[in-house]
Amino acid sequence: MPGLEVLFAPWRYSYVVRASQEKHECIFCRALREDEDEALVLVRSRRAFVMMNLYPYNTGHVMVAPVRHVASLEELEDDELLELMKLVKLSLKAIRDVLSPHGFNVGVNIGRVAGAGIEDHVHVHVVPRWSGDTNFMPVVAGVKVIPQDVRETYRRLKPRFQSLARSYL
């Protein structure tokens, strides 16, 4: 079709297939049962864990979730909340050390109307940001460019997450 740009993103195929087959399974609960590397889990503590976002907003976008399946922060016990926040802190440090971002967006979307794609299992997004990472592509073409494959980013980040876990947890 003339004027239509095609972006080749073969890594998304597995998501499309899985999404149609597993509509009701929580990705966080599934990640806890799967092989850590397959699920892209960077670090796990007793009450919380960090995993890569398979469909990131930016390179290095991770999600920090409690082990317990709850929908909102106010449902967490204090020890769960503390561990969740310790892993957010660890994530900031590890990503800063490996990827050298200029800043971060850190946030929680609670409920579908607030933007939660997975509304039944609360999680914190940690998104590294760089000067110039907002450009004309999303505005003009409706496209966000992620310059590195998520699995490559995982391979780069995991050793730092693991080494920091010894002192953060």
- Name the residues annotated as catalytic: 123
Residues 90/63/26/57 CA torsion (nearest 10 deg): -170
Residue 59 burial (CB < 10 Å; 0-12/13-18/19+)?
Answer: buried
CB 62 within 8 A of CB 95: yes
Between CA 80 and CA 76 the distance in angstroms is 6
Q: What is the CA radius of gyration of the chain?
A: 16
Structure tokens, 59: 């390179």
